[in-house]
Structure 1
Amino acid sequence: MSSAVTTRFAPSPTGYIHVGNLRTALMNYLIARKAGGTFILRLDDTDQERSKQEYIDALMQDLDWLGLHWDRLERQSLRYDRYRAAADELRGAGRFYECFETPAELDLKRKKQLNMGRPPVYDRASYGLSDDQKAAARAEGKEGYWRFLLHQNRIEWEDGIIGPISIDAASVSDPVLIRADGQVLYTFASSVDDVEMGVTHIVRGADHVTNTATQIQIMEALGGTPPRFAHHSLLSGPGGEKLSKRLGALSLRDLRAQGVEPMALLSLMARLGSSKPVELAGSLDELAAGFDVESFGTAPTEFDPENLFPLTRQYVQGLPFAEVQARIAALGVPADLAEDFWAVAKGNITVLADLEGWWALFRDGAEPLVDEGDRDFVAQALALLPAQPWTRATWGEWTAAVKAATGRKGRDLFRPLRRALTGRDAGPEMAEVMPLLQKRPGL
């Protein structure tokens, strides 16, 4: 690939973006990044009723959080003059025609075709209408909308994931490109933009394959060269169920609120559904260097959000103190304890927010967990606990004294004492915990 590679991510700002959107954005981003090319963020905001600035702002925040920075920002709502010019060009070439069927009439046609065992393809009844016939339709209160006249041959391309694709255009309805209210539809606006912006590679979901077939003809009719297409499989739930109904709970902002780290999310999405193992990457450059769109399969790809947390844990636990120092200071950890606190706590957290619970334990103490049969033993042990401040040596010295006084040893000695001091059955080495405990425990 050369530096002329141009990709794009073209979301509709009608909601918060989710993991399905991210998969598309990331693949296009990595192709451009690997080639030293251009990544365009293009807002498909021609639906003025549903497109909202709050979703645009949230989208940009999400991409920025992930480090997926775009080279160019485009808005389709600012390009209506280009769509009008392209529509005029297609009309002049005889590839655009005005239609007047109502939704009810089209639905009736589809039902008749299905009842006759035929595919529900538009019959081109409006193609070739005379000016008088169009005037008569308008006199009846009908509003015209515009379809693209497909050449009814086979549309073929080599898909970067699926492989060779061949679609008979005669089996596809001439697509509606401009609605009666003047709204330019995705199929048309996207084709015009991809041609004029020099897009060379497009990765998107497998549900767009038929769109791709029609868009190839639209692009060619506009004098453009279609880009290299690749259609990735759609995400399903961990049991193979459709994910679409759950995507609202899998928005990027929700995952961020749960503490998922950007590199964990990117590492999973860059490999999920491919022949390569999922591994935590150190950077976007590393992900780009190892990215190969042809390594992805066509089967539905199972996505389980729980898989994000082992990767997040691996990422968080590998952070150097300097990268968490400010966060730890914000918890109120004294500066002289901060680095030791991180060294002790990091091996016992999954997300950074877990640090708060550990500091609360060290600062305020915990509600002791004491089995009834251990109550006298723990009381005797606490009476032997030396005065603060405690050091790393305190745990060994104290437990040795308790062992000598009570005769207890091994698990029967150490477990009740850990539970009495921390209120937990497991955690960091107690020798490391003792210097961090700010309050003396009591029963």
Structure 2
Amino acid sequence: MKTVRFAPSPTGYIHIGNARTALFNWLYAKRDGGRFILRLDDTDQERSEERYAQAIVGDLNWLGIEPDETVRQSDRFATYAAAAERLKAEGLLYPCYETQEELERRRRLRLARRLPPIYGREALKLSEEERADLEASGKKPHWRFRLPNFRDDPFQPEPTPVEWDDLVRGPQQVDLASLSDPVLIRADGTWLYTLPSVVDDGDLGVTDIIRGDDHVTNTGVQLALFDALELKRPNFGHHNLLTDPTGAGLSKRTGAQSIRGLREAGLEPMAVASMATLIGTSQSVKVFDDLDALAEDFDPASASKSAARYDETELWALNRSILHETPFADVEERLGALGIDGEEAPGFWMIVRANLDRFEDVQDWWHIVKDGPVEPVSFESDDDRNFARAAFDHLPEGEWDETIWKRWTDAVKAETGRKGRGLFMPLRLALTGRRAGPELADLVVLLGRERTLARRP
């Protein structure tokens, strides 16, 4: 059984790009009855906040994602410490004492000598006495993982390709000789991403990891760490990232396109889920009824290898397409929560849904139907106002049915000679106060004679 994970840091609200990663994992696992783990990567305890952790859970639930298990890295520090001690005992995790300035100076020197700007493992040359002297002077070490990219001499790295069959990108490889030994523990004792992530994936039985393609190089390092800890390697997949229309990346720090913001703006969850999943793939971006239907059609390998530009206007177009096709039964409860109920509610919804950008706009139309225009009616001219007032004198007598609008406008046209926009716009403004809206032939039937006459200017 597939087990996947989504691992956000609770340092801000997740955005549509983060949701893309969550959805890729959820859909990939759930179509085969797999498990989805939400792992809150809260090792940075200064920046991690409970309000963001709760928001992440709420935003995922809104999208339709309900984790089978939720874990917090802050509860697992002892587990990481045990793994680190094992690596230290095997000589695979070693202390380093260089400052950032020293490391930058060495990097520039290597570049000047036309060498790869990677860490030269100078700390491995320190004797026990030299390390003791450094620590006695107040220096605290950071700890690096010694990559397995050499035969006998760690100062003579050799090409060491790490290969995997990527779930999205196909065959991939990373040469460990081109990388610096990664820092796993900072000098202040706090954890960087790599070790806790690998330990968790191993302990939690994660079988498949799908994430952004900015992690491709990290995967080479992590596979080496899986091997060092004798943990089973998961399958990896790396999807393309989303950018804004200018090509800039999305960021939790800026709050750009946060799921919370999209939700509060009135977007439907399946509009967001469909867009987040299908944009930048070979599949057409269309709306699915629910995540189960999307999972049946979803293929992670359909993602392009280049970044996808996300435009919110396209998301709103999807949102409108959802609302315009939604049957009354699917929104009856939501309408009732807004006080829109009774025998008129079904017909009202079917008439106004094609004019909604967001569901909440239905409240204005309900008020217009029940009580008249929301704002004072602004006609284009006094002639239009006078025309509309006189037109109400020609409302036909007799049965009020689906023919009433044609009978009424035919009578007005015959009396005044007006036609086209000059006839219909003043009547629309009188009836609704708006220059666009539902078909007036349907609306006047819903209004009935009394409410129609009440709108005479």
TM-score, length of structure 2 as denominator length = 0.90
Deviations 1:235-286 (A, max 9, x none): 1223434444996230001011111111111112222221111121122112
Q: Residues of 2 paired with 1:161 and 1:291: CA distance?
A: 12
Partner of 2:153: none
Q: Residues of 2 paired with 1:411 and 1:145: CA distance?
A: 75
Shift of 1:173: 0.7
Q: Equivalent residue of 2:39, what SS? A: strand
Backbone CA RMSD of aligned residues: 2.3
Shift of 1:389: 11
1:310 to 308, 317, 320: 317
Deviations 1:388-412 (A, max 9, x none): 9965444334323323432434444
- Residues 82 and 375 (structure 1), Cα distance of their counterparts in 2 relative to 1, 3 Å cut: closer
Whether contact under 8 Å (1:238, 1:303) holds in the other structure is: yes
Establish whether residue 6 from structure 1 lines up as the match of residue 3 from structure 2: yes
Establish whether residue 36 from structure 1 lines up as the match of residue 33 from structure 2: yes
Partner of 2:146: 149
Q: Residues of 2 paired with 1:104 and 1:365: CA distance?
A: 71
Q: Residues of 1 paired with 2:258 and 2:126: CA distance?
A: 47
Partner amino acid, structure 2, of 1:84: A
Q: How many residues align?
A: 440
Q: Residues of 2 paired with 1:404 and 1:234: CA distance?
A: 61
- Equivalence map 1:77-92=2 (5 Å): 77-92=74-89
Establish whether residue 51 from structure 1 lines up as the match of residue 48 from structure 2: yes
2:284 to 267, 271, 277: 277
Q: Answer with 92-101 or 11-20: which moved more.
A: 92-101
Partner of 1:160: 167
Q: Residues of 1 paired with 2:335 and 2:397: CA distance?
A: 27
Q: Equivalent residue of 2:237, what SS? A: strand
Establish whether residue 441 from structure 1 lines up as the match of residue 455 from structure 2: yes
Q: Residues of 1 paired with 2:204 and 2:231: CA distance?
A: 10
- Residues 128 and 116 (structure 1), Cα distance of their counterparts in 2 relative to 1, 3 Å cut: closer
Gaps of 5+ in 1: none
- Residues 334 and 391 (structure 1), Cα distance of their counterparts in 2 relative to 1, 3 Å cut: farther
Q: Residues of 2 paired with 1:56 and 1:245: CA distance?
A: 13
Establish whether residue 193 from structure 1 lines up as the match of residue 200 from structure 2: yes
Whether contact under 8 Å (1:331, 1:359) holds in the other structure is: no
Establish whether residue 20 from structure 1 lines up as the match of residue 17 from structure 2: yes
- Residues 334 and 206 (structure 1), Cα distance of their counterparts in 2 relative to 1, 3 Å cut: closer
Establish whether residue 289 from structure 1 lines up as the match of residue 299 from structure 2: no
Whether contact under 8 Å (1:205, 1:233) holds in the other structure is: yes
- Residues 190 and 246 (structure 1), Cα distance of their counterparts in 2 relative to 1, 3 Å cut: closer
Q: Equivalent residue of 2:274, what SS? A: helix
Partner of 1:230: 237
Whether contact under 8 Å (1:102, 1:142) holds in the other structure is: no
TM-score, length of structure 1 as denominator length = 0.93
- Residues 288 and 136 (structure 1), Cα distance of their counterparts in 2 relative to 1, 3 Å cut: same
Partner of 1:419: 429
Gaps of 5+ in 2: 150-159
Shift of 1:57: 0.4
Q: Residues of 2 paired with 1:340 and 1:266: CA distance?
A: 29
Deviations 1:17-54 (A, max 9, x none): 00111111111111111221111111111111111100
Q: Residues of 2 paired with 1:214 and 1:14: CA distance?
A: 25
Q: Residues of 2 paired with 1:383 and 1:332: CA distance?
A: 34
- Equivalence map 1:9-408=2 (5 Å): 9-152=6-149, 153-244=160-251, 248-333=255-340, 335-366=342-373, 367-385=377-395, 392-408=402-418
Partner amino acid, structure 2, of 1:291: F
Q: Equivalent residue of 2:124, what SS? A: coil
Q: Residues of 2 paired with 1:273 and 1:298: CA distance?
A: 9
Q: Residues of 2 paired with 1:21 and 1:321: CA distance?
A: 32
